[in-house]
């Protein structure tokens, strides 16, 4: 069928083509079918969306990825990519071969899968899991797609946390320590997937985080380190597409988590990596056994990629730091670098930095680097290189104007702090999109409180979001307080 090409914008990055229903019926094209488009010396494929009004009969509407196409084109129905069949196999809990996973990765990269098909792949992995061989092959394929960075030093350290712990923003502190110790640490981080703030969201409070690969190299050459958003460059770009599919359901299955983390590390040129695996109530990993199993799998996949990976299994039942949300976590980070701040955030940063330095064979004291002000100075140098304000202080980081404080209704003991519920409250208040939204938790497990003591304070930029978060807080119990007798019964 001959159709006239016209450009159209429906807010998608996928190669969608809009066909008038009469043309679609004549072609025999159903929603989400593929059509082959022949024009000039090029052939490409689009995913069908039928419409009665957006395009007239005799025309084909092309979204942004296909805007280069002009004039009259020949349109025929095409078969579905082989990767769709492989996704269906995974839905049936059939293990996929290396070439099948490579095909899925390639088609995701080329945007040949519809959002529904990509969501089906993520759901299949969530429901049925990946074997260790599948995880190795998926990670290898993902790291082979897109750009890669290479560095002169033979040892390039990196650190990552699998997340799930509120306020766990140790990365900026660790990068400042490691860079001040003389090592090259090009840190790419993600935005929030299931949390109220990813490291990139927190760093964006201080400075720019989106840079080209050449700009990243320049920043690292100047300062020994960087703290940038990994999605701003084409480092394992398939990972970004998978994360986009995970976001609506707030899921992060283990196999995809490993592939996500290690494909990014390999692409950025990391050689020695420490992975933080928090476990406990409300964390992504609930048990010590589960944490050890995940650590073993991460190290095995890392070895498959010729990376030296070690894991820190940490207690993740309580928040790290007090602030939850971009500005509130940024305030904690800067306070620790300035010699104050939450002790839990300071101690975890030091411990992981010690592990990373030891892993790289470097004899240096993170405590000395932090206490001397060296880490703070290095952090400010990185801010300058990333177009931030080096004079920013904790007092400049002001949370949202709308706030409310939840107080204890009894005397007693804090028997638990639920990370997951705290994160839900912070997100309901508007974090991370509203950078000044979130909450500050005032108590830790084991603390004694009296009636009227503050448990947590919610902050929002918009009154309606504060009301919504407050309403959710009334139904949840993110900070559990029990009387003495109740606490004894619960501990038994």
Query: Is 80 exceeded by the pLDDT of residue 351?
Result: yes
Per-residue pLDDT band at 489 (split at 50, 70, 90): very low
pLDDT in tens, 215-261: 999 999 999 999 999 877 888 889 988 988 887 877 889 999 999 99
Protein fold of 2-78: Barwin-like endoglucanases (2.40.40)
* Residue 127 pLDDT: 96
Per-residue pLDDT band at 490 (split at 50, 70, 90): very low
* Residue 486 pLDDT: 52
User: Average of pLDDT values for 455-468?
Assistant: 97
Query: Is 90 exceeded by the pLDDT of residue 415?
Result: yes
Query: Is 80 exceeded by the pLDDT of residue 488?
Result: no
SS (H, E, C) the chain: CEEEEEECCCCCCCCEEEEEHHHHHHHCCCCCCEEEEEECCEEEEEEEEEECCCCCCCEEEECHHHCCCCCEEEEEEECCCHHHHHHHHHHCCCCCCHHHHHHHHHHHHCCCCCHHHHHHHHHHHHHHCCCHHHHHHHHHHHHCCECCCCCCCCCCEEEEECCCCCCCCCHHHHHHHHHHCCCCEEEEECCCCCCCCCHHHHHHHHCCCCCCHHHHHHHHHHHCEEEEEHHHCCECHHHHHHHHHHHHHCCCCHHHHHHHHHHHHHHHCCCEEEEEEEECCCCCECCHHHHHHHHHHHHHHHHHCCCEEEEEEEECCCCCCCEECHHHHHHHHHHHHCCCCCHHHHHHHHHHHHHHHHHCCCCCCHHHHHHCCHHHHHHHHHHHHCCCCCCCCHHHCCCCCEEEEEECCCCEEEEEECHHHHHHHHHHCCCCCCCCCEEEECCCCCCEECCCCEEEEEEECCHHHHHHHHHHHHHCCCEEEECHHHHHHHHC
| Between residues 165 and 299, the one the model is more confident about | 299
User: Average of pLDDT values for 130-146?
Assistant: 95
pLDDT in tens, 362-401: 999 999 999 999 999 999 999 999 999 999 988 899 999 9
* Residue 244 pLDDT: 84
* Domain spanning 402-491: CATH superfamily: Pyrimidine nucleoside phosphorylase-like, C-terminal domain (3.90.1170.30)
Cα Rg of the chain (Å, integer): 25
User: Average of pLDDT values for 455-473?
Assistant: 97
pLDDT in tens, 267-297: 999 999 999 999 987 678 889 999 999 999 9
Percent of the chain with pLDDT over 90: 77
CATH class of the domain comprising 157-232+265-394: alpha beta
* CA distance linking residue 318 with residue 68, whole number of Å: 52
Please provide the CATH number assigned to the domain covering 82-129: 1.20.970.10
Per-residue pLDDT band at 470 (split at 50, 70, 90): very high
Per-domain residue ranges for the chain? Answer: 2-78, 82-129, 157-232+265-394, 402-491
pLDDT in tens, 31-88: 988 999 998 888 899 999 999 989 999 999 999 888 989 899 999 998 888 999 999 9
Q: Which residues are catalytic?
A: 252
Per-residue pLDDT band at 195 (split at 50, 70, 90): confident
* CA distance linking residue 219 with residue 223, whole number of Å: 6
């Amino acid at each position: 069928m001959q159709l006239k090409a016209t450009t159209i914008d429906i807010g998608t990055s996928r190669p969608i083509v809009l066909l008038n229903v009469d043309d679609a019926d004549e072609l025999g094209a159903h929603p989400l079918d593929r059509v082959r488009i022949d024009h000039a010396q090029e052939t490409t494929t689009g995913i069908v969306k039928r419409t009665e009004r957006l395009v007239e009969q005799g025309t084909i509407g092309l979204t942004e990825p296909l805007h280069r196409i002009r004039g009259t084109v020949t349109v025929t129905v095409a078969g579905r990519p082989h990767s769709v069949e492989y996704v269906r196999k995974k839905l049936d809990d059939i293990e996929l071969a290396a070439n099948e996973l490579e095909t899925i990765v390639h088609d995701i990269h080329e945007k040949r899968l519809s959002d529904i098909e990509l969501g089906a792949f993520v759901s299949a992995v969530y429901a049925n899991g990946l074997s260790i061989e599948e995880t190795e092959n998926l990670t290898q394929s993902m790291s082979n797609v897109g750009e890669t960075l290479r560095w002169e030093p033979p040892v390039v350290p990196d650190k990552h946390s699998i997340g799930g712990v509120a306020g766990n923003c140790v990365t900026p502190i660790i990068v400042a320590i490691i860079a001040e110790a003389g090592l090259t640490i090009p840190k790419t981080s993600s935005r929030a997937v299931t949390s109220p703030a990813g490291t990139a969201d927190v760093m964006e409070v201080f400075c720019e985080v989106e840079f080209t690969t050449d700009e990243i190299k320049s920043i690292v050459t100047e300062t020994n380190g960087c703290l940038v958003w990994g999605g701003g460059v084409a480092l394992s770009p398939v990972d970004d597409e998978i994360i986009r599919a995970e976001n609506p359901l707030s899921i992060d299955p283990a196999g995809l988590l490993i592939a996500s983390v290690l494909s990014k590390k390999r692409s950025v040129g990391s050689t020695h990596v420490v992975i933080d695996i928090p476990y406990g109530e409300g964390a992504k990993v609930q048990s010590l056994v589960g944490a050890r199993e995940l650590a073993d799998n991460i190290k095995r996949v890392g070895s498959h990629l010729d990376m030296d990976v070690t894991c820190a299994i940490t207690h993740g039942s309580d928040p790290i730091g007090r602030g939850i949300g971009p500005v509130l976590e940024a305030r904690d980070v800067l306070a620790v670098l300035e010699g104050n701040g939450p002790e839990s955030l300071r101690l975890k940063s030091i411990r992981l930095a010690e592990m990373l330095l030891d892993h790289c064979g470097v004899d240096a004291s993170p405590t000395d680097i932090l206490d001397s002000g060296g880490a703070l100075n290095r952090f400010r140098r990185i801010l300058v290189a990333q177009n931030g304000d080096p004079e920013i202080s904790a007092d400049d980081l002001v949370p949202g104007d709308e706030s409310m404080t939840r107080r204890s209704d009894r005397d007693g003991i804090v028997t638990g702090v639920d990370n997951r519920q705290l994160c839900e409250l912070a997100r309901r208040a508007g974090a991370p999109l509203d950078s000044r939204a979130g909450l500050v938790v005032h108590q830790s497990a084991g603390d004694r409180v009296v009636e009227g003591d503050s448990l947590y304070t919610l902050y929002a930029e918009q009154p309606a979001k504060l009301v919504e978060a407050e309403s959710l807080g009334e139904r949840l119990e993110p900070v559990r307080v029990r009387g003495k007798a109740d606490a004894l019964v619960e501990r038994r």
